[in-house]
Chain A
Amino acid sequence: MKDPNGIERVEESVIKHSGFTFLIIDHMDNLSVEKVQYHNALIIDGKDVDFIRQIVRRVRSHNSPDIYLKPIFILKGINIHDALVNKLIDGTLFNLDQIEFIIPEVERILSRVSDLKFTNSISFEAQMIEKLISFMYTCEIQDLDPIPYVYSGINYAYPILSVNFRQNDEHTVLEILDIAEQEGIFESEYVDRTYLCSQCSSGHLSYREVCPKCGSSNSQTEDIIHHFPCGYVGPIRDFRNEIDDQLDCPKCNKRLRHIGVDYDKPSVLHECKNCSHKFQDYNVKAKCLSCQTDNSVEQLNGREIKKYSLTKKGELAAINGFVSTSKDIDEIIGTVKFETFKTMLKYEIERLRQTEGSSNVCAIHIINPSQVYSKIGSEVQKGLLKDIVKVIRSNIRSSDVISFQSSSTIVLSMNEIPYKISIRILKEIIEILKKLMATAFNNMEVNFEHKVVQLDYKLSPDLHIHQLTKDFNQ
Chain B
Amino acid sequence: MIEELIDNYVRFLSSLTLDHFIRLFWFYIFFEFVRYFALEWFVLNLWKIRKHYNKDKYAMAREQFLFENPLVSIIIPGKNEGKHIYKLIKSLNEQTYKNTEILVIDDGSDDDTPTIGRDLQRAGLIDLFIRNEIRGGKASAANFGLRFTKGKYIVHLDADCSYDRDAIEKIIIPFYMEKDVGGVGGNVNVRNYDTGLVTSLQAIEYYDTISIGRVVTSHLGIYRIISGAFGAFRADVLDKVKGWDIGPGLDGDITVKIRKLGYKIRFAQDAMCLTNAPDTFKKLTKQRLRWDKSLIRFRIRKHKDVLYPNQSFRFANFISFVENITYNLILNVKWYVYLSDMLINYPSLIVNIFITNILLYTVTNFVKFTIYSLYRERSHAPMSYFLLYIPCMVFYFGFYLRIVRSIAYLQETFFKLSYNDPWNPKKTSVHAKKLKI
Contacts and interface: CB of A to CB of B under 8 A. Distances in A.
Contact of B431 (A260, A262, A266): A262
A231 B137 contact: yes
A277 to B, nearest CB: 10
Interface stretch (A153-161, A164-172, A221-229, A445-453): A221-229
A234 B141 CA distance: 11
Contacts of B430: 228
- Interface range, A side: 20 to 34
A145 to B, nearest CB: 38
Interface in A242-294: 250-251, 260-262, 264-267, 278-281
Contact of A231 (B118, B135, B143, B148): B143
Contact of B242 (A229, A251, A281): A251
17 contacts: A226-B140, A228-B246, A229-B434, A231-B140, A231-B243, A232-B140, A232-B242, A232-B243, A233-B144, A233-B147, A260-B427, A266-B108, A266-B132, A278-B148, A279-B128, A280-B131, A281-B121
B428 A231 contact: yes
B171 to A, nearest CB: 24
B1 interface: no
Contact of B134 (A251, A266, A279): A266
Nearest to A230: B245
B133 interface: yes
B325 to A, nearest CB: 25
A228 B431 contact: yes
Contact of A230 (B128, B134, B135, B246): B246
B221 interface: no
Contacts of A279: 128, 130
Given A224-B132, A266-B134, A229 B108 contact: no
A224 B144 contact: yes
B430 to A, nearest CB: 8
B223 interface: no
A232 B121 CA distance: 25
A265 B132 CA distance: 9
A231 B108 CA distance: 15
Nearest to A261: B427
Nearest to A251: B242
Given A228-B428, A233-B140, A267-B132, 15 more contacts: A226-B144, A228-B430, A229-B432, A229-B435, A231-B136, A231-B139, A231-B143, A231-B243, A231-B246, A232-B243, A233-B132, A233-B144, A234-B143, A234-B147, A251-B242
B260 to A, nearest CB: 16
A264 B107 CA distance: 13
Contacts of A250: 242
Contacts of B437: 229
Interface in B269-323: none
Interface string A196-234: 000000000000000000000000000010101111111
Contacts of A229: 246, 428, 431-432, 434-435, 437
Contact of B133 (A231, A251, A267): A267
Contacts of A267: 130-134
B163 interface: no
B244 interface: yes
A115 B80 CA distance: 70
A264 B118 contact: no
Contacts of B140: 226, 231-233, 266
Interface string B393-437: 000000000000000000000000000000000011011101101
Contacts of B108: 266
Interface of B: 108, 118, 121, 128-137, 139-141, 143-144, 147-148, 242-246, 427-428, 430-432, 434-435, 437
Q: Which 6 A-B pairs have the closest CB atoms?
A: A266-B132, A231-B139, A229-B431, A266-B134, A233-B144, A228-B428
Nearest to A226: B136
Contacts of B121: 281
Contact of B245 (A231, A233, A261, A265): A231
Most buried by B among A228, A278, A280: A228
A280 B118 CA distance: 11
B433 to A, nearest CB: 10
A250 B143 CA distance: 13
A266 B242 contact: no
Given A251-B242, A280-B131, A266 B148 contact: no
Contacts of B428: 228-229, 231
A339 to B, nearest CB: 60
Nearest to A298: B122
B120 to A, nearest CB: 12
A233 B133 contact: no
Interface in A164-205: none
Contacts of B130: 267, 279-280
Contact of B427 (A232, A233, A264): A264
B243 A281 contact: no
Nearest to B144: A233
Given A224-B144, A264-B427, A266-B108, A231 B134 contact: no
Contacts of A264: 134, 136, 427
Contacts of A278: 147-148
Contacts of B244: 231
A261 B243 CA distance: 22
A228 B427 contact: yes
A118 B428 CA distance: 81
B277 to A, nearest CB: 27
A230 B128 CA distance: 24
Contacts of A230: 242, 245-246
Most buried by B among A233, A261, A266: A233
B254 to A, nearest CB: 11
B245 A266 contact: no
A224 B139 CA distance: 15
Nearest to B118: A281
A250 B242 CA distance: 9
A225 to B, nearest CB: 10
A50 B435 CA distance: 74
A250 B243 CA distance: 12
A265 B133 CA distance: 9
Contacts of B133: 266-267
Contacts of B427: 228, 260-261, 264
Nearest to A252: B242
Most buried by A among B121, B141, B144, B437: B144
B136 A266 contact: yes
Most buried by B among A226, A260, A278: A226
A4 to B, nearest CB: 77
A186 B428 CA distance: 65
A224 B148 CA distance: 13
Contact of B243 (A224, A251, A266): A251
B426 to A, nearest CB: 10
A228 B228 CA distance: 20
